[in-house]
């Protein structure tokens, strides 16, 4: 099949699926903090969990630009489902695809892309968030295996995943240069998830929990990439995931905006529809401008990734701008809806709550600004 035909078929499939299956349950999974197992499994069967991967592993043979459009469209109606998909497809699938051995791709990537297994990515710990070099989880090599001890916190899909990408120190004295990445399977002795399911502000249909590693024995064949060079795996994975988070953020903003555009033509005050008021127009215009600009940054970064370019700066720019667009747009959307925006009978307060994580996950906004500044200071030529 031609690329364009493949892409059109995927778009047709996801549009129908989102309309029929994701939109109708979005409010319920938020209210009941329920993981949408059936929908995730069905997305696997429909080929929607492997969009940016080759068909040889069960992927759809499409690019990151197409994948991020898909994520945007899910997030317009259900950001929690979009968050589950990005964690599964990018944070878990990408390290295995990019750094894994053929055996790892057969054993782990294929069942992830088909949806037979769910993936999680475990980096954050109780005492270590932005500062990756401070992780305390350790893996010690003994007789062809590694023994992992430690814990992870705030892990998306912790309670529902089967395959975990885990960061651990293999050379604790070397900071960033002593981290390695492992694949740990659910059910491995000593590995438990989880004593604690997080109760969150938003993204309540997305599972978040804790992982405990108590002398967990993992075969040496489950090391992803090179020993002690896990930082390279983490960097590449987090940069790619920022495109997914940017797409989630833009989708949330677009969803909130769509509700507003309908509402301002339905609601009257002082005998006029809301869209006649200049301050409402200002908010609508700002929403539009920010969403368009965020979309362009994301397209640029995703296009560069598809061409194999380094996107460290571009992914941070897209994620930072999109997440700030999401929080501003949803705040204004609640304002436009007034009391109805604040009511749980309407979806605006959910968009508002869901938006905030996009400024925190996959590196906070402060960390994105640091990355962008470091990249331009390091790489720009200053001759005038």
Ligand X SMILES: Cc1cc2nc3c(=O)[nH]c(=O)nc-3n(C[C@H](O)[C@H](O)[C@H](O)COP(=O)(O)OP(=O)(O)OC[C@H]3O[C@@H](n4cnc5c(N)ncnc54)[C@H](O)[C@@H]3O)c2cc1C
Q: Does position 357 bind ligand X by CB under 6 A?
A: yes
> By C-beta, is 248 or 250 nearer to ligand X?
248
Residues composing the chain:
384
Instruction: Check if the beta carbon of residue 147 is closer than 8 Å to that of residue 139.
Output: yes
Options 46-54, 211-219, 274-282, 359-367: segment touching ligand X (CB under 6 A): 359-367
Of positions 21, 41, 186, 200, contacts ligand X by CB under 6 A: 200
Distance CA 246, CA 188 (A): 34
> By C-beta, is 256 or 367 nearer to ligand X?
367
In this structure, how many other beta carbons lie within 10 angstroms of the beta carbon of residue 3?
11
Q: Does position 123 bind ligand X by CB under 6 A?
A: yes
> By C-beta, is 212 or 360 nearer to ligand X?
360
> By C-beta, is 241 or 280 nearer to ligand X?
241
> By C-beta, is 7 or 206 nearer to ligand X?
206
Q: Does position 130 bind ligand X by CB under 6 A?
A: yes
Task: Supply the minimum distance, in Å, between the C-beta of residue 273 and ligand X.
Answer: 37
Instruction: Check if the beta carbon of residue 51 is closer than 8 Å to that of residue 71.
Output: no
Q: Does position 366 bind ligand X by CB under 6 A?
A: yes
Of positions 11, 27, 176, 360, contacts ligand X by CB under 6 A: 360
Task: Supply the minimum distance, in Å, between the C-beta of residue 130 and ligand X.
Answer: 3
Q: Does position 175 bind ligand X by CB under 6 A?
A: no
Q: How do strand 163-169 and strand 119-122 relate by DSSP bridges?
A: parallel
Q: Does position 208 bind ligand X by CB under 6 A?
A: yes
21 preceded by a cis bond (ω within 30 of 0):
no
Task: Supply the minimum distance, in Å, between the C-beta of residue 260 and ligand X.
Answer: 26
Residues 270-289 interacting with ligand X (rule: CB under 6 A): none
Of positions 25, 147, 203, 355, contacts ligand X by CB under 6 A: 203
Q: Does position 108 bind ligand X by CB under 6 A?
A: no
Q: Does position 124 bind ligand X by CB under 6 A?
A: yes
Q: Does position 121 bind ligand X by CB under 6 A?
A: yes
CA trace torsion 220, 225, 227, 229 (10° rounding): -160
Q: Does position 136 bind ligand X by CB under 6 A?
A: no
Contact map string, positions 67 to 106, toward ligand X, x by CB under 6 A: --------------------x-------------------
Pull the structure tokens for residue 40.
């995730």
Of positions 71, 367, 368, 371, contacts ligand X by CB under 6 A: 367
> By C-beta, is 76 or 152 nearer to ligand X?
152
Task: Supply the minimum distance, in Å, between the C-beta of residue 152 and ligand X.
Answer: 7
Q: Encode the chain in three state secondary structure.
A: CCHHHHHHHHHHHHHHHHHHHHHHHHHHHHHCCCCCHHHHHHHHHCCCCCCCCCHHHCCCCCCHHHHHHHHHHHHHHCHHHHHHHHHHHHHHHHHHHHHCCHHHHHHHHHHHHHCCCCEEEECCECCECCCHHHCCCEEEEECCEEEEEEEEEEEECCCCCCEEEEEEECCHHHHHHHEEEEEEECCCCCEECCCCECCCCCCCCCCEEEEEEEEEEEEHHHEECCCCEHHHHHHHHHHHHHHHHHHHHHHHHHHHHHHHHHHCCCCEECCEEHHHCHHHHHHHHHHHHHHHHHHHHHHHHHHHHHCCCCCHHHHHHHHHHHHHHHHHHHHHHHHHHCHHHHCCCCCHHHHHHHHHHHHCCCCCHHHHHHHHHHHHHHHCCCCC
Options 108-116, 263-271, 294-302, 357-365: segment touching ligand X (CB under 6 A): 357-365
Q: Does position 155 bind ligand X by CB under 6 A?
A: yes
Of positions 85, 122, 223, 315, contacts ligand X by CB under 6 A: 122
Binding residues for ligand X, rule CB under 6 A, total 21
Of positions 156, 237, 323, 329, contacts ligand X by CB under 6 A: 156
Binding site for ligand X (CB under 6 A): 87, 121-124, 129-130, 154-156, 200, 203, 208, 357, 360-361, 363-364, 366-367, 370
């Amino acid at each position: 099949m031609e690329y364009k035909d493949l892409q059109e078929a995927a778009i047709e499939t996801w549009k129908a699926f989102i309309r029929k299956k994701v939109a109708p349950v979005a409010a319920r999974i938020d209210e009941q903090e329920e993981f949408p197992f059936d929908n995730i499994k069905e997305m696997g069967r429909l080929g929607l969990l492997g969009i940016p991967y080759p068909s040889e592993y069960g992927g759809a043979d499409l690019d990151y630009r197409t994948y991020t459009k898909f994520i945007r469209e899910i997030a317009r109606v259900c950001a929690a489902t979009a968050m589950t998909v990005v964690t599964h497809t990018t944070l878990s699938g990408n390290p295995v695809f990019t750094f894994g051995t053929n055996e790892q791709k057969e054993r782990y990537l294929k069942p992830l892309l088909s949806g037979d297994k769910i993936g999680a990515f475990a980096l954050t710990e109780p005492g270590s968030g932005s500062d990756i070099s401070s992780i305390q989880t350790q893996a010690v090599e003994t007789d062809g295996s590694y023994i992992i001890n430690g814990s992870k916190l705030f892990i998306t899909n912790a309670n529902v995943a089967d395959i975990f990408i885990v960061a651990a120190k293999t050379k604790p004295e070397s900071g960033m240069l002593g981290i390695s990445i492992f694949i740990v399977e659910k059910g491995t002795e000593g590995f438990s998830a989880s004593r604690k399911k997080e109760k969150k502000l938003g993204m309540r249909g997305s599972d978040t929990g804790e992982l405990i590693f108590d002398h967990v024995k993992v075969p040496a064949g489950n090391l992803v990439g090179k020993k002690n060079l896990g930082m390279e795996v983490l960097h590449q994975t987090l940069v790619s995931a920022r495109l997914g988070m940017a797409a989630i953020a833009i989708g949330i903003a677009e969803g909130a905006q769509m509700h507003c555009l309908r509402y301002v033509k339905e609601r009257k005050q002082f005998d006029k529809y809301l869209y006649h008021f200049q301050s409402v127009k200002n908010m609508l215009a700002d929403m539009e401008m920010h969403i368009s600009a965020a979309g362009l940054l994301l397209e640029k970064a995703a296009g560069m990734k598809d061409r194999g370019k380094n996107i460290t700066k571009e992914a941070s720019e897209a994620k930072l701008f999109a997440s700030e667009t999401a929080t501003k747009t949803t705040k204004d959307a609640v304002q436009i809806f007034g009391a109805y925006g604040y009511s749980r009978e309407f979806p605006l307060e959910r968009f508002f709550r869901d938006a905030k994580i996009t400024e925190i996950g996959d590196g906070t906004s402060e960390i994105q600004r640091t990355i962008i500044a470091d990249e331009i200071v390091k790489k720009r030529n200053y001759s005038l």
